[in-house]
Amino acid sequence: MGNIVLEKVNKCFGDVEVIPSVDLDIKDGEFVVFVGPSGCGKSTLLRLIAGLEDLTDGKIVIDGVDVSDSTPAKRELAMVFQSYALYPHMTVRKNIAFPLKMAGMPQDEIDKKVMAAAESLNLTDYLERTPGLLSGGQRQRVAIGRAIVRSPSAFLFDEPLSNLDAALRVNMRIEITDLHKELKTTMIYVTHDQVEAMTMADRIVVLQAGNVEQFGSPLDLYNKPVNRFVAGFIGSPKMNFVKGKDADEFNAHEIGFRPEHMKVSTTKGRWKGVVSVAEHLGADTFLHVKTKEVGTIVTRSDGEINVNYGDTVYVSPNTDKIYRFGADGLAL
Amino acid sequence: MARKVTLQRKLGFTALAWFLGCIMFFPIFWMILTSFKTEIDAIASPPLVFFQATWENYQLVLNQSDYLKYFGNSVVIAGGSTILALLVAIPSAWSMAFSPTRHTKDVLMWMLSTKMMPPVGVLVPIYLMLKYMGLLDTRTGLVIIMMLINLPIIIWMLYTYFKEIPSEILEASRMDGAVLWKEIVYVLLPMALPGIASTLLLNLILAWNEAFWTLNLTAANAAPLTAFIASYSSPEGLFWSKLSAASTMAIAPIMVLGWFSQKQLVTGLTFGAVK
Ligand SMILES: Nc1ncnc2c1ncn2[C@@H]1O[C@H](COP(=O)(O)OP(=O)(O)OP(=O)(O)O)[C@@H](O)[C@H]1O
Ligand SMILES: [Mg+2]
């Protein structure tokens, strides 16, 4: 079981309030991702759940038990750190066995579980090595192995893949997703990578300055962002925003439209502009179009489009896919 | 051209290091030399470098006084106080390094400041306290005093070593279900072992050589090797070569220990500076 409820969670470091008040209800078996800009309190929130930081106020309830004042050990959660945090003086085998040893499990049972974990993570050949002799990806696997051996009620990940190269990151992302499907254990995952958030999450928590801006499924956040911040944060490249008479036309203070919802034409369209950057990625082409009326607009079209730096083009938003915001930034 | 400069520099630094090393070693060398002279040769002027070596002083010193008793006291006092201090210092350095508060720096400074005070300033109160507790001239009393004297340095050294350990690794052990003592025994201590070893060695040496407290708080029973040496500068006059022999015998054990552990000492003391 791994149902985690946060009630009015508040955290201050000295006089600095990092988390004003957070309420969350994470269901058993859910894969929840925390995203948000750097310094918004993602790690702090995760560490509060882990018990590595003390709450200033509020309550954390795991499976119906108030654990607000419990030690990390009592909460039975497992954590994977960005730096892997492996024990450098122990072999891979001992690293993975450590939580079981702490739980006082008999040695033969420990051996069995360590072997099973090592097999499922392709680590059997490295069991007698120390972490210093492993590659980044292997270390990450050991960290995951150490987390899964004792079947915790939930897994906490703090940017576990950010030290890996791009190709490995994709592999590990898939491995973690598979692991979640197989174990069906609650996972809370902190990342600043859009793609990780969108592809892995059942639900995403968007944080800003310690506040939960929105908590919903990836497509919910993409299609129905509750405010301008979420609209701008989810989606890559970022949503374009326009104020003034163009917004008035839609009865809004400000309107937003995603790069993928833009038409690009060389002959006619809503706004005329000059291409200042053309990014040809193969499958997609991103154009940064400098217009007189509404500043720089980013568009995304398919790879075949034959437009280059300095060309004059017309861009127009798909009016069905416009996001409208009020003066307070909330979606209308 | 560049290479030539670095070579010259290297030679320069090597020569300087040897020069300083020789200056520092000279008194010890001279002491050992003197310990093999007769009393007459020892006070000869100009000093003799070549002379008829003799074991006489060593035989005399060993016959006259109970070297082994002093040696035993030194071992108990230096070893006991260092181990006791480590037992106290490890948890306190742990808490200061990994859960610092606003006042941690102040506490550290305050502890260091106690070392700035001349010991003689507290001699009378400490003497009286030990007297009332019946601990004067006992090994127990000396172990406690030496432990307290060296505690600030031990905590400071351990604190700097612990600071080098990423706190995430300790947090990982907490997540893995380790309670405090298991976290310290299974994770912190093995990782800090080089630092702890050099702290231990350095403090053994400091405690072994400490003379002020050991001379003032002991008489016949708990006197360590420092008192053994001091007994050779007596009212009847100085006996240079016997004094030298006694000193050589007093420092020999700790020199041997230092010689064998010098690699450990150096890695420990430069821990963090490298890498
Ligand atoms: N121990 C601490 N003492 C004081 N302030 C802290 C402490 N830990 C974090 N903070 C502050 O709390 C805020 C949130 O930090 P946190 O590490 O949770 O951000 P984050 O969202 O994880 O950022 P990133 O994406 O860069 O990892 C930051 O402003 C940080 O400076
Ligand atoms: Mg973080």
The answer to whether residues A63 and A173 belong to one domain is: yes
β-strands A271-280, B237-238: how paired? Answer: unpaired
The pLDDT confidence band at residue B236, using thresholds 50, 70 and 90, is: low
CA of A37 to the centre of ligand 2 (A): 10
Q: What is the CATH number of the domain that holds A259?
A: 2.40.50.140
pLDDT in tens, B21-64: 999 999 999 999 988 988 888 888 788 778 888 888 888 888 88
Residue A177 lies in a domain: yes
* For residue B46, cis peptide bond before it (omega within 30 degrees of 0): yes
CB A314 within 8 A of CB A274: no
* Cβ-contact A138, A172 below 8 angstroms: no
CA of A143 to the centre of ligand 2 (A): 18
- Chain centroid, CA B43 distance in Å: 31
Which ligand 1 atom is at minimum distance from the Cα of A159?
A: 27
| pLDDT number for residue A150 | 86
**A244 and A320 assigned to the same domain:** yes
Q: Which residues lie closer than 8 Å to A169 by C-beta, 6 or more apart?
A: A161, A193
What is the rounded CA–CA span in Å between residue A179 and residue A143?
A: 14
Task: List the residue whose alpha carbon is closest to atom 17 of ligand 1.
Answer: A43
Residue A314: partners with Cβ closer than 8 Å, 6 or more residues away: A264, A265, A266, A267, A268, A269, A270, A271, A272, A273
> A99 lies in a domain?
yes
User: What helix, strand, coil percent values describe chain B, rounded to 5?
Assistant: 75, 0, 25
Q: To the nearest 10°, the Cα dihedral for B73, B77, B83, B87?
A: 140
Q: Count other Cβ atoms within 10 Å, centred on residue A241.
A: 18
DSSP SS3 for A42: helix
Q: Is A146 a pocket residue for ligand 1 (Cβ < 6 Å)?
A: no
Query: What values do phi and psi take at A275, rounded to 5?
Result: -70, 120
Number of domains present in the structure of chain A: 2
Domain that holds residue A311: 239-325
Q: How far is the CA of A286 from the centre of ligand 2 (A)?
A: 30
Q: Which residue bears the tokens 């031990």?
A: B154
Nearest to A263 by CA among A319, A306, A323: A319
Instruction: Evaluate whether residue A263 is within a structural domain.
Output: yes
What's the pLDDT at A29?
93
Q: Do residue A75 and residue A146 come from a single domain?
A: yes
- Three-state DSSP class for residue B110: helix
pLDDT at position B268: 63
Query: Of the residues A35, A42, A81, A192, which should be mutated to test ligand 1's pocket, given the most ligand atoms within 8 Å of the CB?
Result: A42
C-alpha–C-alpha distance, residues A85 and B172, integer Å: 6
* Rounded distance between C-alpha atoms, residue A206 and residue A215, angstroms: 6
Q: Which atom of ligand 1 is nearest to the CA of A40?
A: 21
Is the model's pLDDT at B272 over the cut of 60? no
In a shared domain, residues A279 and A225? no
* Boundary of a domain, candidates A178, A211, A231: A231
Picking from A194, A215, A231, the residue at the C-terminal end of a domain is A231
A286 touches chain B (CB under 8 A): no
CATH number at A175 reads 3.40.50.300
**What whole-number percentage of chain B has pLDDT above 90?**
38
**Average pLDDT for residues B169-181, to the nearest whole number?**
92
Give the pLDDT band (50/70/90) at residue B275: very low
- Say whether residue A105 is in contact with chain B using an 8 A CB cutoff: no
pLDDT in tens, B212-223: 888 888 888 888
On the question of pLDDT at B156 being above 70, the answer is yes
Q: pLDDT tens for residues A306-327?
A: 888 999 999 999 988 899 999 9
Interface contact flag, A98 B175, Cβ < 8 Å: no
Neighbours of B138 (CB within 10 A): 16
Average pLDDT of chain B, as a whole number: 86
Task: Record the tokens describing residue A298, joined without a space.
Answer: 């980013």
A331 falls within a domain: no
Distance from CA of B247 to the nearest CA of A (A): 42
Question: Maximum Cα–Cα distance for chain A, whole Å?
Answer: 76
Q: Please choose, from the candidates A316, A324, A164, A165, the residue with its C-alpha nearest in 3D space to the C-alpha of residue A231.
A: A324
* CA A173 to chain CA centroid, nearest Å: 11
Is A34 part of any domain? yes
* Per-residue model confidence (pLDDT) at position B269: 61
Q: Tell me, yes or no, whether A112 and A257 share the same domain.
A: no
Number of other residues whose CB lies within 10 A of the CB of residue A253? 18
Domain boundary among A205, A231, A257: A231
pLDDT digits (tens), chain A, 332 positions: 789 999 999 999 989 999 999 999 999 999 999 999 999 999 999 999 999 999 999 999 999 999 999 999 889 999 999 889 999 999 999 999 999 999 999 999 999 999 999 998 889 999 999 998 998 889 999 999 999 998 899 999 999 998 888 888 898 899 999 999 999 999 999 998 888 999 999 999 999 999 999 999 999 999 999 999 999 999 889 999 999 888 888 899 999 999 999 999 888 889 999 999 999 888 899 999 999 989 999 999 888 888 889 999 999 999 888 999 999 989 98
Name which residue sits closest to atom 29 of ligand 1, judged by CA.
Answer: A39
The predicted model scores a pTM of: 0.81
Residue B246 tokens, joined: 């006694």
pLDDT for B2: 57
- Counting ligands in written order, the one closest to the CA of A47 is 1
Residues A319 and A175 grouped into a single domain: no
Residue B233 has pLDDT above 90, yes or no: no
Distance CA A43, CA A56 (A): 16
Are residues A140 and A84 part of one domain?
A: yes
Report the pLDDT value the prediction gives residue B116, as an integer from 0 to 100: 87
Please report how many Cα atoms fall inside a 13 Å half-sphere around the Cα of residue B162, on the Cβ side. Answer: 23
Residues A225-247: tens digit of each pLDDT? 999 999 999 988 999 999 988 88
A107 in the same domain as A48: yes
Q: Are residues A69 and A170 in the same domain?
A: yes
N-to-C CA span, chain A: 38
Closest to A102 (Cβ–Cβ): which among B171, B182, B190? B182
Residue A63 lies in a domain: yes
- CB neighbourhood size of A304 (10 A): 7
Q: Do residue B173 and residue A79 have CB atoms under 8 angstroms apart?
A: no
Which residue among B172, B186, B187 sits closest to A81, beta carbon to beta carbon? B172
Contact A85 B168 (CB under 8 A): yes
Beta strands A271-280 and A211-216, pairing class: unpaired
Q: What is the pLDDT of residue B273?
A: 41
pLDDT band for position B229 (cuts 50, 70, 90): confident
A203-228 burial: b if 16+ Cβ within 10 Å, else e = bbbbbbebebbbbbebebbbeebbbb
Between CA B206 and CA B136 the distance in angstroms is 21
Judge if A136 and A274 occupy the same domain: no
- Which residues does A226 contact at the CB level (< 8 Å), separation at least 6? A213, A214, A330, A331
Ligand nearest to the CA of A207: 1
A126 and A171 both lie in a single domain: yes
A330 domain residue, yes or no: no
The answer to whether position A332 is within a domain reads: no
Residues A11 and A28 reside in one and the same domain:
yes
Domains of chain B with CATH codes: 7-58 (no CATH), 65-268 (1.10.3720.10)
